[in-house]
Chain A
Amino acid sequence: MTSEAAALAGKEHSGPGFWSSFADNERWLWPAMLAPAVLYIVLLVGFPFFLSIYYSFTDVTVGGRDLHFVGLQNFNRILESSTFWLALKNTIILTVISQVCILVMASILAQALSVNFRGKWLVRLLILLPWVAPIALGSIGWLWIFDSIYSVINWTGRAIGILGPNDWPIWLGQPNLAMASIIIVQIWRILPLATVIILAGLTSIPQDLHDAAAVDGAGPFRRYFQITAPLIRPITLVAVLFGIIFTFTDLIVVFVLTRGGPYDQTQVLATWAYFTGIQGGDLAGGAAISLFLFPVLVAVAIIFLRFARRTEVL
């Protein structure tokens, strides 16, 4: 609690007066308690957000003092750049493939975790590690696993005979393999979150329902697709929406693994905005690129809102 609030609390027995009527009047108390947080969010999320839109129509740079309104020039420039289209394509491919894999894998894993077994706490701890560990550091672990000379994947592949004596994939050096590596790391880091969210949905289904269906002669598959799957659909949607946001806007995995290379072949919108805006000093261009993330975020927000209205959970 802040010292200010503590001081106010000390005064509360001073009898009827301005403060005590204030502290009791919910018409003023609630707005007063909300105001600091709302003000902060408006200043540090709302303001920069609109500034970003404004910047995308100017020629602002990192060091420059002046900025001029240039209309749609930045957008025209971006749409003409082949790297932009590649980054957009990569971002979409990355998001779609990783989310589909995550959805399937998390459903299976959550199902496996919904029953009791010995050592479950340890399994849960190990499974959660990728989500909890800082993404930048987890990605470094993968950087070492994908190393061009000392890749443990290649060594293992050769040892068990999947890779021939002359096969030595350079994971982060060949465009397709590099994209695959990035997708693997995104699946790796978001799968735990999706799993625990779906698991929470599974454990909320009353056992009676399963028992009744079993008595009626439904097999495990039928029970899953006709009872479990529909019941956990809303919460699965929550998991997928968060997964989309985290993957679509992520900068860290690509930044650490490939820096967009080789030759910008693995750039995504977020990294391309960074390299243009921060490293290239062209803030206006960077702002314009990052705004292309916005339609997806709006779409996700709208789904969340409709979902909230229907289920009254938000």
Chain B
Amino acid sequence: MTPFSARAGKAAQATGHAAILVFFVTFLAFPFAWMVITTFKTTQDLHNVANNPYLFNDPPTLDHLRTLFADTAFVQWLANTAMVGAAVVIITLALAIPAGYALSRMTGALGQSLGVGIFLTYLVPPTILFIPFARIIAALGLQDSLWSLVLVYPSFTVPFSIWLLMGFFKAIPRDIEDAAMIDGLSRFGAFLRVVMPISLAGILTSIIFTFTLVTQEFVYGVIFITASSNYTVSVGVPTFLVRGDVYFSGSMMGACLIASVPIAIIYNFFVDRFVAGFTGGAVK
């Protein structure tokens, strides 16, 4: 190959690469860009079909956000989500840390099959469980209470966190604990005093994912909760703000943005660990 054609080939390759990225970024991020534009446009501008929808034909406005915060229960929904999220995180850690550690240290067939069993429960979707849960929650008298969500959400956060933490604990050499045990700690003491402190990164990761899963959950929320003041943000925005009335589109898009983008940014730092959790260490 002559130097010229090599350079031309490289340029073509770079252009192709850029074109692929532009296409995918446009497809995947466009709805969010569209949310930003819609949030700050005046209603009049949004509803004038003659206007170019990509441009601000009227100056940007904060009216929709004002409506969202002043006239809807949006702040309450955020607070509910945070409360449920915090409670579910505590339950999840209390159950998943000991279990993940035990599974990481158990040798033999029992430990392995329990690990696989817990992984398989993650495959049982809310779609199969919501029907019986509707009656269980009613029998427990928890309808329309945020406690129903606190009770049920760990059913999907615990299996995933066990799986994630198990991978973390496996990466910690047993020698460290054995050394601590020679120094007089029990096996459990070594877990508390030695393994836990160096696993903080793993625990933080499972906190983030538990919280994200709680924020994303919709099915149980829509079934258990009926009073709009008890909604979480994922349920409140689609059920309460959507009334087939276009008037709300600006506020709705603002709500979607506020509830999703901050989490997305935090999550981004942890995504590699998330993938490791999904693939069960198939990738080193």
Partners in one complex: yes
| Residue A136 at the chain B interface, CB threshold 8 Å | yes
Max chain A Cβ within 10 angstroms of own Cβ: one of B99, B111, B185, B252: B99
- Tell me if B234 and A197 are in contact (CB < 8 A): no
- Tell me if B284 and A126 are in contact (CB < 8 A): no
- Tell me if A38 and B114 are in contact (CB < 8 A): yes
Q: Binary interface profile of B, 114-136, with partner A (CB < 8 Å = 1, else 0)?
A: 11101111011111111111111
| Residue B102 at the chain A interface, CB threshold 8 Å | yes
- Tell me if B123 and A297 are in contact (CB < 8 A): yes
Q: Which of B187, B253, B268 contacts A29 (CB 8 A)?
A: B187
- Tell me if A293 and B127 are in contact (CB < 8 A): yes
Within 8 A of B (CB), among A116-144: 117, 123-130, 132-144
| Residue A149 at the chain B interface, CB threshold 8 Å | yes
* B216 cross-chain contacts in A, Cβ below 8 A: 134-136
Where the two chains meet, the residues of A that have a C-beta atom closer than 8 Å to any C-beta of B are: 1-2, 5, 8-9, 12, 20, 23-24, 26, 29-31, 33-34, 36-38, 40-41, 44-46, 48-49, 51-52, 55, 60, 62, 105, 108-109, 112, 115, 117, 123-130, 132-145, 147, 149-150, 152, 155, 159, 188, 191-193, 196-197, 200-201, 203-204, 234-235, 238, 242, 245, 249-252, 255-256, 269-270, 273-274, 277-278, 283, 286-287, 290-291, 293-294, 297, 300-301, 304-305, 308, 311, 313-314
Q: When A and B form their complex, which 9 residue pairs have the shortest distance between CB atoms, in order from nearest?
A: A133-B260, A37-B99, A33-B98, A23-B186, A141-B31, A23-B188, A249-B125, A51-B132, A33-B102
| Residue B202 at the chain A interface, CB threshold 8 Å | no
| Residue B194 at the chain A interface, CB threshold 8 Å | no
* B145 cross-chain contacts in A, Cβ below 8 A: none
| Chain B min CB distance to A140 (Å) | 6
8 A-B Cβ contacts within 8 A? A1-B97, A29-B102, A33-B98, A44-B151, A49-B124, A52-B129, A138-B256, A314-B115
Where the two chains meet, the residues of B that have a C-beta atom closer than 8 Å to any C-beta of A are: 17, 20-21, 24-25, 27-32, 34-35, 38, 46-47, 49, 52-54, 93-99, 101-103, 105-106, 111, 114-116, 118-121, 123-136, 138, 151-152, 154-155, 158-159, 162, 181, 185-189, 192-193, 196, 212, 215-216, 218-219, 222-223, 233-235, 237-238, 242, 246, 249, 252-253, 255-256, 259-261, 263-265, 267-268, 271-272, 274-276, 278-284
* B265 cross-chain contacts in A, Cβ below 8 A: 125
| Chain A min CB distance to B13 (Å) | 9
Quick one: closest B residue to A308, CB to CB? B116
Q: Which of B98, B253, B256, B263 contacts A34 (CB 8 A)?
A: B98
Quick one: closest A residue to B24, CB to CB? A109
- Tell me if B24 and A197 are in contact (CB < 8 A): no
Quick one: closest A residue to B264, CB to CB? A132
Quick one: closest A residue to B94, CB to CB? A2
- Tell me if A290 and B188 are in contact (CB < 8 A): no
- Tell me if B20 and A293 are in contact (CB < 8 A): no
| Chain A min CB distance to B97 (Å) | 7
Quick one: closest B residue to A187, CB to CB? B27
- Tell me if A278 and B130 are in contact (CB < 8 A): yes
- Tell me if A34 and B260 are in contact (CB < 8 A): no
- CA distance in complex: A40, B21 (Å): 44
Q: Which of B34, B132, B193 contacts A55 (CB 8 A)?
A: B132
- Tell me if B105 and A30 are in contact (CB < 8 A): yes
* A152 cross-chain contacts in B, Cβ below 8 A: 34, 53-54
* B222 cross-chain contacts in A, Cβ below 8 A: 255
- Tell me if B106 and A150 are in contact (CB < 8 A): no
Besides the contacts A48-B136, A278-B131, what 17 more A-B pairs have beta carbons closer than 8 Å?
A23-B189, A30-B102, A33-B102, A44-B154, A48-B132, A112-B21, A123-B25, A124-B271, A126-B32, A127-B29, A130-B31, A132-B260, A137-B256, A188-B27, A196-B275, A305-B116, A314-B115
Also in contact, A277 and B134, with CB within 8 A (given A29-B102, A38-B114, A252-B219): yes
Quick one: closest B residue to A20, CB to CB? B186
Also in contact, A128 and B267, with CB within 8 A (given A37-B158, A141-B31): yes
* B261 cross-chain contacts in A, Cβ below 8 A: 129, 133
Quick one: closest A residue to B192, CB to CB? A9
- CA distance in complex: A243, B188 (Å): 39
- Tell me if B131 and A277 are in contact (CB < 8 A): yes
* A12 cross-chain contacts in B, Cβ below 8 A: 185-186, 188-189
- CA distance in complex: A251, B127 (Å): 7
- Tell me if A141 and B133 are in contact (CB < 8 A): no
* A203 cross-chain contacts in B, Cβ below 8 A: 283
* B38 cross-chain contacts in A, Cβ below 8 A: 144
- CA distance in complex: A153, B126 (Å): 33
* A238 cross-chain contacts in B, Cβ below 8 A: 278-280, 282
- CA distance in complex: A143, B189 (Å): 54
- CA distance in complex: A198, B182 (Å): 43
- Tell me if B282 and A301 are in contact (CB < 8 A): no
- Tell me if B189 and A278 are in contact (CB < 8 A): no
* A124 cross-chain contacts in B, Cβ below 8 A: 268, 271
- CA distance in complex: A250, B93 (Å): 27
- CA distance in complex: A147, B151 (Å): 37
- CA distance in complex: A282, B199 (Å): 47
Also in contact, A245 and B123, with CB within 8 A (given A135-B216, A200-B275): yes
* B49 cross-chain contacts in A, Cβ below 8 A: 149-150, 155
- CA distance in complex: A23, B184 (Å): 12
- Tell me if A1 and B154 are in contact (CB < 8 A): no
- CA distance in complex: A235, B280 (Å): 10
